[in-house]
Amino acid sequence: MKFKLNCLVFLAISLFTLISCDFGDQDFDDEYETISMITSVAFKDDLKVFSRKAGTTSSGADTTIIDTTYIAAEDCKFTIDQKNKHIYTSDSLPFGTDVSNVTITIGYKGYNLTKVLKEDGDNVTDTTWSNVDPIDLRKPVKFKVYAQVINVYDIYTVEARVHQVDPMKMGWTKISDSFSGGEADGEQRSILFNGKIYTFAYTGGTPAIFSTDVNDGNSWRKDIPSFPESMNINSVCTYGRQIYMASTNGNVYTSDDGLNWSKKENLSGNILTFVGKMQYKSNERLIALSSAGEGREIKVSDDGQTWQASASVSEYFPEDCFSGFEKRSLTNSSINNYYVMGRERSDYALSDTASFAWFTLDGLEWAEMRANYTLVLPKMTKPTYMFYGDETLAFGYGPKTAFESFYYSEDLGLVWREKTGDPALPEEFAGRNEYSSLVDDDDNVWIIWSASEKNSDEVWRGKINKAYFSE
- As a whole number, the mean pLDDT across the chain is 89
Which of 5-9, 216-220, 465-469: highest mean pLDDT? Answer: 216-220
CATH topology of domain 33-159: Immunoglobulin-like (2.60.40)
**Model confidence at 73: pLDDT above 60:** yes
Backbone angles phi, psi at 439, to 5 degrees: -120, 125
Q: Which residue has the higher pLDDT, 421 or 410?
A: 410
| Residues forming beta bridges with residue 417, ordered by sequence position | 408
Instruction: Give the model's pLDDT for residue 420.
Output: 79
Number of neighbours of residue 462 by Cβ within 10 angstroms = 20
Angle CA(373)–CA(389)–CA(456) in degrees, nearest 5?
Answer: 90
Between the alpha carbon of residue 23 and those of residues 26, 43, 75, 434, the distances in Å are 5, 42, 46, 89
Q: Which residue has the higher pLDDT, 469 or 122?
A: 122
**Model confidence at 375: pLDDT above 50:** yes
237, 276 Cβ separation under 8 angstroms: yes
| Residues forming beta bridges with residue 450, ordered by sequence position | none
pLDDT digits (tens, 9 = 90+) for 4-39: 445 444 444 444 444 444 444 444 455 557 899 999
Instruction: Give the model's pLDDT for residue 141.
Output: 96
Q: For residue 381, name the pLDDT band (cuts at 50, 70, 90).
A: very high
Instruction: For strands 86-89 and 153-159, give the pairing.
Output: parallel
Q: For residue 432, name the pLDDT band (cuts at 50, 70, 90).
A: very high
What is the Cα gyration radius of the chain? 34
Angle CA(244)–CA(180)–CA(454) in degrees, nearest 5?
Answer: 115
pLDDT digits (tens, 9 = 90+) for 169-202: 899 999 999 999 999 999 999 999 999 999 999 9
Instruction: Give the model's pLDDT for residue 262.
Output: 96
Q: For residue 58, name the pLDDT band (cuts at 50, 70, 90).
A: low
Q: Mean pLDDT over residues 365-374, rounded?
A: 87
**Model confidence at 64: pLDDT above 60:** yes
pLDDT digits (tens, 9 = 90+) for 92-114: 999 899 999 999 999 999 999 99
Q: Long-range CB contacts (< 8 A, 24+ apart) of 65-71?
A: 70/46, 71/46, 71/47, 71/97
Which one-letter amino acid corresponds to residue 23?
Answer: F
**Domain formed by 170-469, architecture:** 6 Propeller (2.120)
pLDDT digits (tens, 9 = 90+) for 249-272: 999 999 999 999 999 999 999 999
Dihedral (CA of 127, 130, 133, 135) sign? positive
Residue in 62, 95, 171 with CA at minimum distance from that of residue 408: 62
| CA 328 – CA 433 distance, rounded (Å) | 32
243, 286 Cβ separation under 8 angstroms: no
Looking at the chain, the whole-number percentage of residues with pLDDT higher than 70 is 90
Instruction: Give the model's pLDDT for residue 29.
Output: 52
Q: Which residues of 226-236 are buried (b: 16+ CB within 10 A; e: fewer)?
A: ebeeebbbbbb
- Please state the domain extents for the chain: 33-159, 170-469
Instruction: Give the model's pLDDT for residue 27.
Output: 46
Q: Mean pLDDT over residues 311-327, rounded?
A: 97
pTM comes to 0.79
